[in-house]
Amino acid sequence: MSDDPMNGKKPAGTPGEPEKPQEIVAEEAAAQVLEHRPFEPGKIELDFHRRVDTSFLQYASYVIRDRAIPNLCDGLKPVQRRILWSLHEKDDGRFIKVATISGHCAQYHPHGEAAIGDALVVLTNKRYLIEGQGNFGNIYTGDPAAAPRYIECRLTELARNEIFNDELTEFVPSYDGRNKEPVGLPSKLPLLLMLGAEGIAVGLSCKILQHNFVELIQAQIAILKKESFKVLPDFFTGGLMDARDYRDGTGTIKVRAKIKEKDEATVVIKEIPPGTTTDSLIGSIEDAARKGKIKVKSINDFTSEDVEIEIKAPAGVSAEKLIDALYAFTDCEVSISSRIIVIKNNRPVEMTVSDVLRENTAQLLDTLKRELELKEKKLLQEMHVRTLVRIFVENRIYKKIEQCRTSEAITEAIEEGFRPHRKELLRDLTPEDIAMLLDVRIRRISLFDINKHREEMDRVKGELAETQKHLKNVSRYAIGHLQGLIEKYGALYPRLTKSSRHDEIDAREVAFKAFKVAYDRESGYIGYKVSGDEFKTECTKFDKLLLLFKDGHYKVIELQEKLFVGPDLYFAAVPERDRVMTLVYSDREATYIKRFTFGGTILNKEYFCVPPKSKILFFEPDTPETLYIKYKPAPHQKIHQQTCAPKEIEVKGPKTLGRQLTIKDVGSIGSRPPRGWDAEAATPKLQFL
Please list the active-site residues: 150
Whether residue 321 contacts residue 315, with contact meaning beta carbons closer than 8 Å, is answered with: no
Query: 3-class DSSP state for residue 553?
Result: strand
Question: CA–CA separation, 77 vs 69, rounded Å?
Answer: 6
β-bridge mates for residue 517, sequence order: 537
Whether residue 537 contacts residue 572, with contact meaning beta carbons closer than 8 Å, is answered with: yes
List, in order, residues 6 or more apart from 269 with CB less than 8 Å away: 257, 258, 259, 281, 307, 308, 309, 311, 332
Helices (H) and strands (E) in the chain, counts: 17, 33
List, in order, residues 6 or more apart from 689 with CB less than 8 Å away: 659, 660
CA angle 369, 374, 376 (to 5 degrees): 95
For 528-580, strand residue ranges (E) read: 534-539, 544-549, 553-558, 563-564, 569-573
- By residue count, the chain amounts to 689
CA-based radius of gyration for the chain: 43
Whether residue 196 contacts residue 326, with contact meaning beta carbons closer than 8 Å, is answered with: no
Query: 3-class DSSP state for residue 203?
Result: coil
Question: CA–CA separation, 106 vs 115, rounded Å?
Answer: 10
Question: CA–CA separation, 128 vs 191, rounded Å?
Answer: 9
- Give the burial string for 282-303 (b: 16+ CB within 10 Å, else e): bebbeebbeebbbbbeeeebeb
Sequential DSSP letters for 132-184: EES----TTT-PPPPPGGG-EEEE-HHHHHHS--GGG-EEEE-TTSSSEEEEE
Question: CA–CA separation, 241 vs 251, rounded Å?
Answer: 14
Question: CA–CA separation, 144 vs 118, rounded Å?
Answer: 10
Helix or strand run (H / E) with residue 618: strand 615-621
